[in-house]
């Protein structure tokens, strides 16, 4: 997409906007009715800047899928950051009115509540997306400011049980953050530590053994999107709609932030966790998909 002229981008955006309008109308006319089976609910979880928005846009191209962004009517009760979900019974009642065959949500700030979410939505599936910590840290600081990593770590330091960043974190996670934390610390270390704290939830919550949760690596989606999405649709038990859903996916952002500005100790801590995630991801790709619970 980097070779497109501005006029090409404008035409593509207009075309996609028209497609979304057509899709919304089609779902209203031809979608599920009150007497049909309930739509399948899929949660995209993990950490911000891990390519979850790319996953969102890929699903948006599926005519049978309704997608909710991180900020939507489902987060209307969050007056502070506009990203935390409304009470789950309220969310469930709202989704029951949708007529799509599958509903995809991206509540990244609720990733620590994954078991609660799966209990509230029987039959739901989770796509837990991750990405190399250096790329995530670089993107975090570029998107939200050089002090954002430090802001993200403060709730761990103060053991804030209500802040989504530190909610349900383990004592070991908080102790590790406190060991490194300083208000004037290296901002790249801070952003990488936040990646570490949120990414290790996958293990802290024992998600590696849950058949309703699929580990997804951003780099796989960016470099081999068709094969990756076929694998994801097989996990979801849905027919793959075709390669048109990944036609705009490109690998240009892979490795873009990997000019390490991290201290050796933080780099080693994150590298160890990334290696564990990669090992599980590679094993899962070659293994038969587990049956849902």
Q: What is the pTM of this model?
A: 0.85
- Evaluate if residue 221 carries a pLDDT over 90: yes
The reported pLDDT for the residue numbered 33 is 45
Q: What is the pLDDT of residues 262-281, one digit of tens each?
A: 999 999 999 999 999 999 99
- Assess if residue 236 is contained within a domain: yes
- Assess if residue 18 is contained within a domain: no
- Assess if residue 194 is contained within a domain: yes
- Evaluate if residue 59 carries a pLDDT over 50: yes
- Assess if residue 291 is contained within a domain: no
Q: Which domain holds residue 174?
A: 31-286
- Assess if residue 81 is contained within a domain: yes
- Evaluate if residue 194 carries a pLDDT over 80: yes
Instruction: Kindly state the percentage of the chain with pLDDT values over 90.
Output: 76
The reported pLDDT for the residue numbered 254 is 75
Higher pLDDT, 134 or 26: 134
- Evaluate if residue 172 carries a pLDDT over 80: yes
DSSP secondary structure letters along 169-210? --HHHHHHHHHH--TTS-HHHHHHHHHHHHHTHHHHTTGGG-
- Assess if residue 6 is contained within a domain: no
DSSP secondary structure letters along 71-98? SSGGGTT-TTTS-SPPPHHHHHHHHTT-
- Assess if residue 16 is contained within a domain: no
The reported pLDDT for the residue numbered 281 is 94
Q: Worst-scoring range by mean pLDDT, 42-51, 162-171, 217-226, 241-250?
A: 241-250
Higher pLDDT, 76 or 289: 76
- Assess if residue 19 is contained within a domain: no
Q: What is the mean pLDDT of residues 59-69?
A: 94
How many structural domains are present in the chain? Answer: 1
- Domain with 156 in it: what CATH number? 3.40.50.300
């Amino acid at each position: 997409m980097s070779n497109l002229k501005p006029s090409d981008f404008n035409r593509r955006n207009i075309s996609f906007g028209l497609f979304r309008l057509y899709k919304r109308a089609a779902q209203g006319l031809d979608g599920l009715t009150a007497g049909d089976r309930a739509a399948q609910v899929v949660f995209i979880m993990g950490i911000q800047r891990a390519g979850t928005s790319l996953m969102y846009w890929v699903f948006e191209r599926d005519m049978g899928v309704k997608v909710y962004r991180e900020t939507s009517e489902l987060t209307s009760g969050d007056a502070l950051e506009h990203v935390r979900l409304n009470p789950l019974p309220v969310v469930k009642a709202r989704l029951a009115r949708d007529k799509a065959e599958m509903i995809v949500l991206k509540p990244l700030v609720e990733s620590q509540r994954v078991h609660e979410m799966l209990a509230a939505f029987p039959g739901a599936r989770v796509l837990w997306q991750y990405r190399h910590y250096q790329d995530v840290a670089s993107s975090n600081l570029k998107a939200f400011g050089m002090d954002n990593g430090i802001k993200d770590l403060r709730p761990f330091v103060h053991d804030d049980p209500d802040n989504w960043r530190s909610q349900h974190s383990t004592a070991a996670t908080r102790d590790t953050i406190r060991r490194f934390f300083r208000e004037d610390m290296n901002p790249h270390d801070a952003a990488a530590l936040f990646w570490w704290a949120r990414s290790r939830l996958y293990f802290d919550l024992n998600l590696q053994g849950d058949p309703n949760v699929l580990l997804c690596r951003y780099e796989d989606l960016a470099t081999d999107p068709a094969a990756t999405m076929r694998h994801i649709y097989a996990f979801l038990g849905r027919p793959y709609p075709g390669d048109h859903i990944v036609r705009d996916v490109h690998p240009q952002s892979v490795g873009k932030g990997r000019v390490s500005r991290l201290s050796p100790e933080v780099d080693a801590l994150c590298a160890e966790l990334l290696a564990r995630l990669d090992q599980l991801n590679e094993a899962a790709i070659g293994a038969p998909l587990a049956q849902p619970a």
